[in-house]
Amino acid sequence: MIAMVPSRVSQLLIPVVMAAIFSSFASTAYAQGDEAPEKTEAKTAAAETAESDTEEPSGIRDFEKWVDGKFGRHVVGPLWTALTFDFGTGVPFVVGWLMAGAIFFTLRMGLINFRGFYHALRVTKGDYDDPNDTGEVTHFQALASALSATVGLGNIAGVAIAVGMGGPGAIFWMICAGFFGMTSKFVECTLAQMYRRVSPDGTVSGGPMRYLYDGLAEKNNEMLRILGLFLAGLFSILCIGGSLGGGCAFQVVQSMGVLKQQIPLFEEYGIIYGVIMAVAVGLVIIGGIRRIAATAEKIVPTMCAVYVVTAIIILITRADRIGWAIGEILEGAFTGKGITGGVLGVMVLGIKRAAFSNEAGTGSAAIAHSAAKTEHPVREGIVAMLGPFIDTVVICTMTGLVIVITQAYDTELFPAHKALIDADEGAKLTSAAFASVYPWFPIVLAVAVTLFAYSTMISWSYYGERCVTHLLGQRFSFPYKILFLGFVILGSVVSATNILVFSDIMILSMALPNILGALLLSGKVRAALNTYWASYKAGEFKTYNK
């Protein structure tokens, strides 16, 4: 047992080493990014804030600034440059890739996102739940678990950022991306079920890191097998990054924005919020307190309902403006008036924020959906389609409509909001929109936002841990969790812009390996869908009336 002691010490050192590797990787990318400085978007003026880079930090404020500067200069700026290279088309590569993938899948699967919708509702309701099927949880439970990771500040802050920067038209493109994203989600979750591994202890594990490798290895082509190995590894690394960005720091910085308006102490010292959140998350992911994790996740569907109802109340109080708002959304979508980049700019913003929110195409939710009890992979894929629908078509649209109807995005009417939009403080903008109807609505929002942030972080730490252990083995689970808590605190220190760009890079780039692999395997999914659909139409599936 003496060996336990150095072993624990080495585990604590690992996150430091991981962080060092991570930042050196980013610095290398920066050196490459330097060659094309004109491509760097104005938004990543992150580097500008790095002027105080070399100064020694003194006091909490200076420390926060110093960390932010470092993060912007060495991590965010260079990666962003590489990923958003547009080949002169005006569409950042990763956005075009996500959308092209979603449209291709939708056509290839014969519009399953529309024709499978009713069936998805019935399966989720439990009509087809056979208790003897292999897996861990029911279809509904798997969907709820996936949603707890998906529904978060992306739905509240991300939408506000999209409307603030791209005008009402961005909502139209978000909804479109939501509809097409349903099929991306269908494909990745079906694949996750097809290639999941059932352990002797009855648990299952699946996700892109499995199907990218096993699926391509199956094709009996050495090149494809190596490609699969590479894609699975790349996905795992990016998913770990995504869990630290969008699944963690982004949730902290945006929820903090809303809470700052209720609790002035956080305005003064944001890091206090970070520490409180880190303790709360640590209790679950390191302390292993299952009851808290279960409560936080199970409450998500209820919080979604509360949020949507609150939004609907706001819409009802301004019912006379709904027609006008829809007009603004449609007009903005096709004219892109007053927006840099015109229609294309609005479209890119909408698609990007939709993908960030519903994660369709990035493969993350496939990890949770692989746990569902079923012998039909296609069935869980069909259930998974409801994810982007609920997340984007319903919840994001609600946020968007509230912001348009209250005109919170209009900086001529509300000059104070310009600063929020410029600083990517999306959640604060949504809060302002809520406050304009009933002054106490931001309190409801603050509660919802904190719970969404918390449950999203817990679920994403699970995705991240799955990838860490897949890549490096079980022993790296603990160091990863320490690193994750570090990013919770980082989220309260680094500026919203740097966090947003970093999170975008990590989450959106997960789509590069995932969609490529899914494209190569889409024939198999199509064949499985055809067989399943034929049996379904022939009424061959047993139903369990509940």
Partner 1 sequence: MSILSPGCVLAPVDFSDESMAAVAEARAMVDDPAKLHVIHVLAVMNVAEPGIIWETIDDASRIEHATKALREKFADATIDVKIGDPAHEIADYAEKIDAELIVLPSHGRNALTRFLIGSTAERVVRLAHCPVLVLKPRK
Do 167 and 400 contact (CB within 8 A), yes or no?
Answer: no
Task: Tell whether residue 298 is a contact of partner 1 (CB under 8 A).
Answer: yes
Would you call 321 exposed, middle or buried from its count of C-beta atoms within 10 A (0-12, 13-18, 19+)? middle
- Residue 276 contacts partner 1 per CB under 8 A: no
Contact call for residues 464 and 207 (beta carbons, < 8 A)? no
> 287 is written with which tokens?
């302390």
When the beta carbons of 4 and 9 are compared against partner 1, the nearer one is 4
> Which lies closer to partner 1 via its Cβ, residue 16 or residue 294?
294
| Cα 379 to Cα 251, 352, 386, distances in angstroms | 31, 28, 12
Using CB under 8 A as the binding rule, the residues of this chain from 7 to 46 that contact partner 1 are 7
- Kindly give, in sequence order, each residue whose CB lies less than 8 Å from that of residue 66, ignoring residues fewer than 6 positions away: 52, 53, 55, 57
Q: How far is the CB of 366 from partner 1 (least distance, A)?
A: 12
Q: Under the criterion CB under 8 A, does residue 238 sit at the interface with partner 1?
A: no
Q: Does 201 bind partner 1 (CB under 8 A)?
A: yes
453 contacts 153 by C-beta, under 8 angstroms: yes
Judged by CB, which is closer to partner 1: 285, or 303? Answer: 285
474 binds partner 1 (CB under 8 A): yes
Task: Tell me which H or E stretch contains 197.
Answer: strand 197-198
* Of 129 and 424, CB closest to partner 1: 129
Q: If binding is defined by CB under 8 A, does position 546 make contact with partner 1?
A: no
Both structure tokens of 345: 């700019």
CB of 361 to partner 1, least distance (A): 21
Residue 205 dihedral angles phi and psi, to the nearest 5°: -140, 135
d(CA 22, CA 44): 19
Q: Which of residues 506-545 bind partner 1 (CB under 8 A)?
A: none
Q: Pick between residue 79 and residue 458 the one whose CB is nearest to partner 1.
A: 458
- The answer to whether residue 5 forms part of the interface with partner 1 (CB under 8 A) is no
d(CA 496, CA 422): 10
- In sequence order, what are the residues at sequence separation of 6 or more whose Cβ sits closer than 8 angstroms to the Cβ of residue 130? 373, 374, 375, 542, 544
| Residue from the set 82, 306, 471, 519 that interacts with partner 1 by CB under 8 A | 471
Buried b (16+ CB within 10 A) or exposed e, 426-456: bbbbbbbbbbbbeeebbbbbbbbbbbbbbbb
Could you tell me how many residues of this chain bind partner 1 (CB under 8 A)?
39
Residue number with CB closer to partner 1 (185 or 466): 466
372: three-class secondary structure by DSSP: strand
Q: Which of 368, 483, 488, 501 binds partner 1 (CB under 8 A)?
A: 368
In sequence order, the 6+-apart residues with CB closer than 8 A to the CB of 159 are 171, 174, 353, 357, 396, 399, 400, 403, 426, 430
Cβ proximity to partner 1, 380 vs 391, nearer residue: 380
Q: Interface with partner 1 by CB under 8 A: which range of 28-36, 169-177, 473-481, 500-508?
A: 473-481
From candidates 3, 9, 31, 538, binder to partner 1 by CB under 8 A: 3
> Rounded to whole angstroms, how far apart are CA atoms 521 and 535?
22
Q: Does 293 bind partner 1 (CB under 8 A)?
A: yes
Determine the Cα–Cα distance for residues 491 and 476; give it in Å rounded to an integer: 22
Binding mask 119-148 for partner 1 (x = CB under 8 A): -----------------xxx--xx--x---
Q: What mask, x for binding partner 1 by CB under 8 A, covers residues 145 to 174?
A: x-----------------------------
**Binding of residue 371 to partner 1 (CB under 8 A):** yes
* Site for partner 1 contains 4 (CB under 8 A): yes
Identified binder of partner 1 from the candidate list 19, 443, 444, 472, rule CB under 8 A? 472
In the chain the first and final C-alpha atoms are separated, in Å, by: 53
Q: Which of 216, 252, 259, 284 binds partner 1 (CB under 8 A)?
A: 284
Are 274 and 488 in contact by the 8 Å Cβ rule? The answer is yes
Nearer to partner 1, 283 or 413 (CB): 283
Span near partner 1 by CB under 8 A; candidates 171-179, 207-215, 291-299, 437-445: 291-299
Residue 437 phi, psi dihedral angles, 5° rounding? -100, -60
Per-residue contact string for residues 446-465; x = within reach of partner 1 by CB under 8 A? ------------xx-xx--x
Judged by the rule CB under 8 A, the positions of this chain that interact with partner 1 are: 1, 3-4, 7, 136-138, 141-142, 145, 200-203, 284-285, 288-290, 293-294, 297-298, 368, 371-372, 458-459, 461-462, 465-466, 469, 471-475, 477
